[in-house]
Amino acid sequence: MIDKQVSDLESALAGIKDGASVMVGGFGAVGQPNALIEGLGDLGVRNLTVIANNAGFEAEIGLGKLIGKGVVGKIICSFPRGSSSFDRRYQNGEIELEVVPQGTLAERIRAAGAGIAAFYTPTAVGTKLAEGKETRLIAGKTHVLEYALSADVALIQAWHSDRWGNLTYRGSGRNFNPIMAMAARLTIAQVGTILPLGAIDPDDVITPGIFVDRVLCVPDGDPPLAGTAETANG
Amino acid sequence: MADQALKRYKPFTKAEMAALVASDIPEGWHVNLGIGLPTLVADHLPKDREIILHSENGILGMGPVSSRGNADPWIVNAGKQNVSLVPGASLFHHADSFAMIRGGHIDLCILGAFEIADNGDLANWTTSSDDRTPAVGGAMDLAAGAKNVWVMTAHVTKDGAPKLVGECQYPLTAKAAVTRIYSDLAVIDITERGFVVRTMVAGMSPQQLQDITGAPLHFPR
């Protein structure tokens, strides 16, 4: 019987070693697997390479807290701004940064999961993020060569799962999670609810279980409210 | 800079700029609004046109920013504010979202800028004098991929230096990308001739606008 459910953080994260590359899903607080990130920080592993859109926001939770612990040696992301724990370590030269345009980051991850070694994209042509990279004129337009980006581990968050690892998502919580699930050699999903096999309508499955190795149920409720009309400063 | 007392013109307010931009967006366009000033355009879209807003974190059919009482914590925009969805909205993952952008399916993106050159070069992601962490987000993808790239910006910096220039000094976001600029003083098209002024604030002379612009302006008759 196939059963990808694990009962605790320890078994969810078993086998992650020093120096591992770890993809972390989420955009803002939505779709960010905070319980798994917290558990990763408690493992005692060091010198991790983290691949995520941001470098965390709050210093006390999620990626910001993980970076604050000093266990991340490098981060590959599109938008590291807004993270005090990252800023401090970056300015002290304690963490390496690779900034990648957001769409190029997504496509490099997707390509890795889809068995595409590299691709040509018009994004970043003529900018310093394309410096030193191979370019090619295709159909009259210059493109830059970008390589697929895989990882040892993906930590993702989804909404519903079953024991086969089929996943659904909620709201804008999908973001990087489905493509990271495809791109890592070990994909660990934190989900709000695990349903009996067959309870998820096949029409509703976004990530088929083939891309998922372990599922941990963390009924941790809603993400914290972000800015609203009353708090917007725009 | 001309002495304030000699000015007989008043810059567009942010709301007036947003309304100007919104009135120029055609029915049926799919539009991505950048963080900051461009976000205001959403409040001024003509009620009699269906214009679909895209958010790069996986939303088509984004509605207004939520009020505190009825915010859905699971739905945020690219600026990480809780937003609503309109009837007909759809949700998708990041690779699909940027396929829409890079694949030329997004009709228009509206971005802020540090500098815009009269060949359409855009610098809006980092400045050499800026010691903050360099962060690009989706700006390079949007500038390279959207069918039309419009910029909303103050005409000059806080120090009065031109932001519309002959050549960008700051690191580029994309080359030859911008086709129209909405500044707080004028609406300017970027054509093969360079900057072509479509409209200016009332009371401003062409020479006054030229004096605070870093490249030649053309005024169609």
A12 near A150, Cβ under 8 Å? no
A145 near A182, Cβ under 8 Å? no
To the nearest whole Å, the CA of B44 is away from the closest chain A CA by: 14
Is residue A33 scored above 90 in pLDDT? yes
Q: CA-CA distance, B12 to B201, in Å (whole number)?
A: 7
pLDDT at A57: 80
Q: Pick the range with the lowest mean pLDDT from A53-57, A226-230, B33-37, B178-182.
A: A226-230
Q: Alpha carbon A21 to chain centroid distance?
A: 11
Question: How much is the average pLDDT of A13-36?
Answer: 95
Is residue A228 scored above 70 in pLDDT? no
Give which of B153, B91, B90, B103 is closest to B124, Cα–Cα: B153
Which tens digits make up the pLDDT trace of A63-93?
999 999 999 999 999 999 888 899 999 999 9
Question: How much is the average pLDDT of B86-102?
Answer: 98
Active site residue B56: yes
- Tell me if residue A106 falls in helix, strand or coil: helix
To the nearest whole Å, the CA of A29 is away from the closest chain B CA by: 8
Is residue A196 scored above 70 in pLDDT? yes
Question: How much is the average pLDDT of B144-170?
Answer: 97
Is residue B4 scored above 80 in pLDDT? no
pLDDT at B214: 98
Which residue among B56, B115, B167, B192 is the active-site one?
Answer: B56
Percent of chain B with pLDDT over 70: 95
Burial class (CB in 10 A: 0-12, 13-18, 19+), A93: exposed
Is residue A227 scored above 50 in pLDDT? yes
Q: CA-CA distance, B40 to B44, in Å (whole number)?
A: 7
Q: Which residue has the tokens 């999908």?
A: A174
Question: How much is the average pLDDT of B2-9?
Answer: 66
Residue B211 sits in a domain whose CATH number is: 3.40.1080.10
Inter-CA distances, B214 with B35, B114, B157, B169, B180, Å? 25, 13, 12, 12, 16
Average pLDDT, chain A: 94
Whether A87 has its CB under 8 Å from any CB of chain B: the answer is: yes
pLDDT at B17: 98
Whether B196 has its CB under 8 Å from any CB of chain A: the answer is: no
Question: How much is the average pLDDT of A190-200?
Answer: 97
A171 near B72, Cβ under 8 Å? yes
- Tell me if residue A48 falls in helix, strand or coil: strand
Candidate from A86, A121, A226 with C-beta closest to B82: A226
Q: CA-CA distance, B56 to A172, in Å (whole number)?
A: 10
Q: Do A101 and B39 touch (CB under 8 A)?
A: no
CB neighbours of B48 closer than 8 A, spacing ≥ 6?
none
Q: Pick the range with the lowest mean pLDDT from A52-56, B40-44, B45-49, B63-67.
A: B63-67
pLDDT at A232: 43
Side-chain half-sphere of A104: how many Cα atoms within 13 Å? 31
Percent of chain A with pLDDT over 70: 97
Asked if ipTM goes beyond 0.85, one says yes
Q: Pick the range with the lowest mean pLDDT from A8-12, A83-87, B101-105, B136-140.
A: A83-87
Is residue B3 scored above 60 in pLDDT? no
Between positions 121 and 140 of B, the ones with CB within 8 A of A are 132-140
pLDDT band at A234 (very low <50, low <70, confident <90, very high): very low
Question: How much is the average pLDDT of B72-86?
Answer: 92
Give which of B109, B107, B88 is closest to B173, Cα–Cα: B109
Give the H/E segment covering residue B210. Answer: helix B206-211
| Long-range contacts of the stretch A143-147 (C-beta < 8 A, 24+) | A144/A120, A145/A118, A145/A119, A145/A120, A146/A104, A146/A107, A146/A108, A146/A118, A146/A119, A146/A120, A146/A121, A147/A108, A147/A117, A147/A118
Q: How many domains does chain B have?
A: 1
From chain B, the residues in CB contact with A174 under 8 A are: 58, 91-94
Give which of B42, B186, B56, B31 is closest to B110, Cα–Cα: B31
Which tens digits make up the pLDDT trace of B181-213?
999 999 999 999 999 999 999 999 999 999 999
In CATH terms, the fold of domain A18-99+150-195+207-217 is: Glutaconate Coenzyme A-transferase (3.40.1080)
Q: Do A123 and B144 touch (CB under 8 A)?
A: yes
Q: How many CB pairs (< 8 A) connect A and B?
A: 179
What token pair was written down for B173?
């976001």
Question: How much is the average pLDDT of B75-85?
Answer: 92
Q: CA-CA distance, B166 to B116, in Å (whole number)?
A: 8
Phi and psi (nearest 5°) for A118?
-165, 170
What token pair was written down for A76?
């590959």
Q: CA-CA distance, A219 to A199, in Å (whole number)?
A: 18
Between positions 47 and 86 of B, the ones with CB within 8 A of A are 55-59, 64-68, 71-76, 79-82
Q: Pick the range with the lowest mean pLDDT from A112-116, A165-169, B40-44.
A: B40-44
pLDDT at A233: 36
Q: Do B36 and A232 touch (CB under 8 A)?
A: no
Structural domain containing residue B128:
4-218
Write down the pTM of the prediction: 0.95
